[in-house]
Chains A and B, each alone.
Chain A
Amino acid sequence: MRTSLNVRPIAEVRTMYAFVERNFRLAKRYLSWEVVHIFYSLINAMTIGLIGYATPSSQRAETTLYLVIGALLWGYLSILFDEVANSISYERWEGTIEYTFMAPIRRLTHLLGTCLYGATYGMIRTLIVLVAIAWFFRLPLSHANLWSAILVLIVSSLSFMGLGLIAAVLPLLSTERGAQATHIIQGVILLISGIYYPVTILPHWVQWMSWLSPATYALNMSREALLHGAGLDQLWLPLVELALIGVILVPIGLAIFVAAERYAMRTGRLKRNG
């Protein structure tokens, strides 16, 4: 058993891996649900992509790709957000929350392990859907800069981890209402981020909110990279901005979570049934 309070990077990584391993094992046990989720994501992306086929043939390919990028990126970011934000709800439902919280691990390690799983799992699911969609639509990716798009995906993960951590506080404080609130937050991000349309079509009183959402920046850059082949020379500034949002949001999320944990310990909310 560990006896020192000093940070030992290898031990911390092993602890983070514990969450990744456990969650992948759970995904394996719920394999039929995983198949259903992937099937639904695939059909959802196809349905949205097919809207592009209603446009004139000169715009068809670009519109379809525009929509598919939205569906795929939103698919990934919402999985990441869901996994992080609802990680506490899952622990409550299974009754393991007290065991996880009294384990001798840093909260930072615990939450980063959850984020690492969310990002890995989200990427695998998105990759499966991407391959199927690319084959179905014969997506015109000859001009696409895939490396830039992948970098955007990685950088945007950071800010969505931060958002997820902030949202994870809600189920920590109230099981049912917290889970409900995370869905509302997710819905608002979906509305304001221009997933399937340019944010300029939003009413003015909503439009300003789109600039608060990291998904807006991520989508703009992904579309630039995949539709117009934009490279790092063109995207570096918004990428730095997106990274900065993440660098700010993750510690804020952690700080809020730790404060909420202390509140839960003071008020007795840290128990299995909430």
Chain B
Amino acid sequence: MNLELKSTQSLESSNPSGFVPDGPPVIHCEHVCKRFYEPVEPGDGDVVRRGWLGRRKREVMAVDDVTFDAHRGEVLGILGANGSGKSTLIRLISTLLFPDSGVVEVFGMDAVKQPQAIRRRINRVSVEASFFKKLSAMENLMFAGRLYGLPPAETRQRAGAILERLGFSRGKMHASLENMSRGQQQKVSIARAFMTRPELLLLDEPTTGLDPKSRRDVQDFVEDIIAERKTTMILTTHDMAEAERLCDRVAILDRGRLVVLDTPRALKQMAGPNVQSFEDVFFAFVGKDWKEVVEDEDFA
């Protein structure tokens, strides 16, 4: 069953978290499109010629006419299969990509024209903990702190406090990151993002691939931050329970298109009377079984 695109603004009526949007949107995306051109592989249909050499390329519509707003203090979840455009959308908002068309505004500023002013107020956690792995956690954090204008003492204090809350032992802070588990590296990544106290945080699958304890530590920490309602968060995840638990609203992307956007409760209602879990919601709107989607990505 594929349902038509629905985007409701029923936060007040159906959001169990009680989040009420306040003031102008932190993120405003309007008819955003982004396409990429990839090398042609055997069997590719839509081939175009690109560049001054006229090389044959395959056109991939990564983000297709996406429109949405996110408000201050809101946690907006984005669900979708591999290649659905989640990470591209995060990159567009984080000023790392220019849209082909449409408008991406963050804090009322154009992401293409005023990236520098936006960058001061945002941060990001990506699915890969991206660090200089030979360096220690603290050395990486000190570098990041300096880039955001934090004095070293303040970096040490803020990062230390966050890592402790995440159950990261102080003794490990000076050990090389290459000797740490993925869960530990991801905690350092979270400390790097939160220590700059961003107003907008882009969490791109922060818990994917983590062991259950690390996942719980990260989710609990994010939940504590949500309770303060000072940081707007965009959360892409493969964990349906996580999306339902943490997000005020959830958007589902499929092949670059925004299929639906609403509160978890409203999505369940829209998906039909027999819908039990959030996996069923995904199936109702996209027509794909969520477990298969996740398994496909494991093999990808």
Chain A contact residues, CB within 8 Å of chain B: 1-3, 5, 11, 14-15, 17-18, 21-22, 25-26, 29-30, 94-96, 98-106, 262, 265-268, 270-272
Structural contact, A96 and B130, CB atoms closer than 8 A: yes
CB contact under 8 A between A29 and B148, given known A94-B130, A99-B130, A266-B98: no
Structural contact, A265 and B96, CB atoms closer than 8 A: yes
- Sorted nearest first, the 9 A-B pairs with minimum C-beta distance are A18-B146, A95-B130, A103-B147, A104-B119, A104-B120, A29-B134, A2-B149, A22-B143, A266-B98
CB nearest to B199 among chain A residues = A1
Q: Is the interface of A mostly helix, strand, loop or mixed?
A: helix
How big is the B interface, by class? 35 or more
Chain B contact residues, CB within 8 Å of chain A: 34, 36-37, 62, 88, 91, 94-98, 116-117, 119-122, 124, 126, 128, 130-135, 139, 142-144, 146-150, 176, 192, 196-197
Chain B: minimal CB distance from A242 (Å)? 33
Structural contact, A18 and B143, CB atoms closer than 8 A: yes
Structural contact, B135 and A29, CB atoms closer than 8 A: yes
Structural contact, A5 and B146, CB atoms closer than 8 A: no
> In whole angstroms, what is the CA distance A181 to B150 when docked?
37
Chain B: minimal CB distance from A132 (Å)? 27
Contacts of A103 in B (CB 8 A): 119, 144, 147-148
Structural contact, B95 and A268, CB atoms closer than 8 A: no
Task: Tell me how many residue pairs across A and B have CB atoms closer than 8 Å.
Answer: 99
Q: Mind listing 21 A-B residue pairs with CB under 8 Å? A: A1-B197, A5-B117, A15-B149, A18-B147, A21-B142, A22-B143, A26-B134, A29-B176, A30-B134, A94-B130, A95-B130, A96-B131, A98-B124, A98-B130, A100-B147, A102-B122, A103-B144, A103-B147, A104-B120, A266-B97, A270-B96
Contacts of A1 in B (CB 8 A): 120-121, 148-150, 196-197
Structural contact, A270 and B97, CB atoms closer than 8 A: yes
CB contact under 8 A between A17 and B146, given known A102-B95, A102-B119, A270-B96: yes
Contacts of B131 in A (CB 8 A): 94-96
Contacts of A2 in B (CB 8 A): 120, 148-149
> In whole angstroms, what is the CA distance A26 to B119 when docked?
26
Contacts of A18 in B (CB 8 A): 143, 146-147
Structural contact, A104 and B148, CB atoms closer than 8 A: yes
Structural contact, B96 and A5, CB atoms closer than 8 A: no
Chain B: minimal CB distance from A162 (Å)? 24
CB < 8 Å: which of A5, A25, A98, A267 contacts B126? A98
CB nearest to B134 among chain A residues = A29
Structural contact, A15 and B97, CB atoms closer than 8 A: no
Structural contact, B146 and A104, CB atoms closer than 8 A: no
- Excluding A18-B143, A18-B147, A96-B132, 11 further A-B contacts by CB distance (< 8 Å) are A1-B150, A5-B117, A21-B146, A22-B135, A26-B134, A95-B131, A99-B144, A102-B119, A103-B119, A106-B116, A268-B91
Structural contact, B36 and A268, CB atoms closer than 8 A: yes
> In whole angstroms, what is the CA distance A2 to B146 when docked?
11
Contacts of B88 in A (CB 8 A): 268
